[in-house]
Amino acid sequence: MLLFNLQKKWAEVDSLTEHLDVLGMDVCNVYDGTKVVSGIWGMTHDETKEMFIKHRYVVIVVSEELFLSTSALYYIELARKLYEKGDIKVYVINNGISVEKYPERCKWLTEGVMLKNYSNTADEKTYAYAMDIVLGITYDLFSEDKDNGKKVVKEGTNV
């Protein structure tokens, strides 16, 4: 699973990563602080595309920083193309930005699985996000298994 977060200090992303790890998910964070992880930045377009497809599930934490980053635009656009082809599934965590304020190039994110949570504490919230993601992936895997191993990535729904 790939994780996109571009906020400088958001402890909730670390907590989300820890919860996903405990639940057995292998998480690759595309950003380290406010820059693209160097190993990923050096990849060719085809290598990056293969990495997305290999991980198959992408979690995007929506923030103003993400929308303002020129380096993030490349990955957002690549994710959109692969999502539209059904090669990946996108989970979206909206961190305080109204969907109406999404830039036009990012409006497609509302078609992914929009994770919503109204927990009282940050840890409860990130645990709930992690559970929603793991349950969604588990559902996909069982659906795929029922369809005789055919790749099945379902349309996004609101969780």
pTM: 0.76
Query: What is residue 14's predicted lDDT score, i.e. its pLDDT?
Result: 78
To 10 degrees, what angle do helices 70-84 and 45-55 make? 60
Say yes or no to pLDDT of 108 above 80. Answer: yes
For residue 137, what is the enclosing H or E element?
Answer: helix 122-146
CATH numbers and ranges of domains, the chain: 2-146 (3.40.50.10140)
Q: Which tops the pLDDT comparison, 158 or 131?
A: 131
Helix (H, G, I), strand (E, B) or coil at 57: strand
Model confidence pLDDT, tens digit, residues 33-78 = 555 565 666 788 898 888 888 888 888 888 888 888 887 888 889 9
Give the pLDDT score at 37. 61
pLDDT digits (tens, 9 = 90+) for 2-29: 777 766 556 777 788 888 888 888 787 7
Would you say residue 93 has pLDDT above 80?
Answer: yes
